[in-house]
């Protein structure tokens, strides 16, 4: 009984400190919006923003290339020669492969 009384006196003396500690543990680690989860979410948002920037740049380059293809017939010929290895009559093609 003496131990129970000493625990009760300790709790009654430091009730505000204990309340703050319990609140900090709940908010910091156990809650759905804990600090750890907020840090993880912020990291994930940063990674997704970088990915959005990468895809936006790729989209702009693809749009630019598409506009060139639509307006410039020489670009169509260049792509046909490079990608599909097409040639004009009376023309020889030499292919160099890098190892």
Tens digits of pLDDT across the chain (99 residues): 788 888 889 888 999 999 999 988 888 888 788 888 889 999 999 999 999 999 999 999 999 988 888 888 888 888 887 788 787 788 777 778 887
| Res 21: pLDDT | 92
Residue 78 CB: number of other CB atoms within 10 A?
13
Tokens of 21: 């500690």
CB 76 within 8 Å of CB 69: yes
CB 55 within 8 Å of CB 65: no
Q: Which residue has the tokens 């912020």?
A: 42
| Res 99: pLDDT | 74
CB 63 within 8 Å of CB 71: no
pTM: 0.54
């Amino acid at each position: 009984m003496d131990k129970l009384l000493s625990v009760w006196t300790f709790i009654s003396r430091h009730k505000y400190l204990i309340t703050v500690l319990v609140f900090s543990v709940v908010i910091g680690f156990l809650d759905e919006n804990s600090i750890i989860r907020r840090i993880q979410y912020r990291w994930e948002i940063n990674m997704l923003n970088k990915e959005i920037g990468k895809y936006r740049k790729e989209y702009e380059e693809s749009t630019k290339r598409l506009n060139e293809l639509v307006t410039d017939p020489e670009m169509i010929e260049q792509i046909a020669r490079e990608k599909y290895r097409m040639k004009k009559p009376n023309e020889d093609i030499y292919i160099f492969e890098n190892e």
